[in-house]
Amino acid sequence: MAGWLLVWEMAATRRWISPLFFPAPTTILRTLLAYSASGKLVADLAATLGRLLMGLMLGGSMGMLLGLLMGGSPRLRRLVDPLVAAMHPIPKISLLPLVLIIFGLGESSRVVLVAVASFFPTVINTMTGVQQIPPIYYEVAANYQASPLTVFRRIIIPGSLPMILAGWRIALNTALVITIAVELITAREGLGAAIWLAWQTLRTEHFYAALLVIAVLGLGSNGLLHLLSAWLIPWQRQDHST
C-alpha cells in the first residue's frame, strides 16, 4: 500500500498524471487536515451519521421484527414473502422521488429512504436465521413444556443470531451507500454533499478527502459490528477455529 502511495505521489508531483484528476496523496492529506481544522468535517460527519443511524435503527428494527414473525409463522411468510421478493431488487435510490412527494424535502425523506434500504437485508436474513434452526430444539422445548417466551429467549434468538447480525452488517453497508447517495442529491450538509460541492467546483482534492473519510467510516463501523458479533456469538468463533 505504501509503495502504491509513493508511486502515486511521484507521478502526480512530476505530472506524469494530471493533478486535477489525481492529486498527490500529500495534497489530499493537507486538504483533509484543513477540512478537519475548519470544523466542517465534524459537521458533515455528524449529519451523515445522524441520518445513517436513524434510518438504520428504524428500518433494521422493523425488518428484524418482521423477519422473526415470518420465520415462525408459515402463514405470514406465504403472505408477505412475495411482497418482499418483489420489492427487494428495486434500487432504493429510485424510490427517492416518491419518498420526496410523500415526506417532503426535509430530513424525514432522507431518513425514510435509508430505513427502506436497511429494512430488506434484516428481514430476509432474520427470517432465514429462524427457519434454519433445527426442529429438534423445538421438540426438546416441547418435552420440557417450555413457555413461548422461554423458546423465544433460549432457542429462536440464539439460533438465529448469526444470520441476524449478518443481516445488520449488510444493512449497515447498504444504508451508508444510500445515505451518501441521498446527500449527493438533496442535502447541503453531509459527506455526500461535500462530494457534490467538490465536483461542482472541480476541487478534486476535497473529493478524495471526503471519499477517504467515508472509507474510514465504513471500515470502522464494520469493525465494530465484527467485535459485537464476536461478543454476542462466541460459539460461532469457536466453531470456526476448530
Q: What is the pLDDT of residues 133-147, one digit of tens each?
A: 998 988 888 888 888
Predicted pLDDT of residue 4:
83
The 10s digit of each residue's pLDDT in 142-200 is 888 888 889 888 889 988 999 999 999 999 999 999 999 999 988 889 999 999 998 88
DSSP string, 26-94: HHHHHHHHHHHHTTHHHHHHHHHHHHHHHHHHHHHHHHHHHHHHHHH-HHHHHHHHHHHHHHTTS-GGG
Predicted pLDDT of residue 242:
45
| pTM recorded for the entire structure | 0.87
Nearest in space to 31 (alpha carbons), one of 191, 209, 216 = 209
Q: Which grid coordinates belong to 63?
A: 425488518
Q: Which grid coordinates belong to 95?
A: 424510490
- Rg of the chain over Cα atoms, rounded to whole angstroms, equals 22
Distance CA 236, CA 15 (A): 51
Predicted pLDDT of residue 237:
60
Q: How far apart are the first and last CA of the chain?
A: 32
Predicted pLDDT of residue 144:
86
DSSP string, 175-199: HHHHHHHHHHHH-SSSHHHHHHHHH
- Other CB atoms within 10 A of residue 89 CB: 7
Q: Which grid coordinates belong to 104?
A: 417532503
Name all domains of the chain by residue range, CATH numbers in brackets.
45-187 (1.10.3720.10)
Judge residue 2's burial from the number of C-beta atoms within 10 Å of its C-beta, 0-12 exposed, 13-18 middle, 19 or more buried.
exposed
Residues of the chain with pLDDT under 70: 236-242
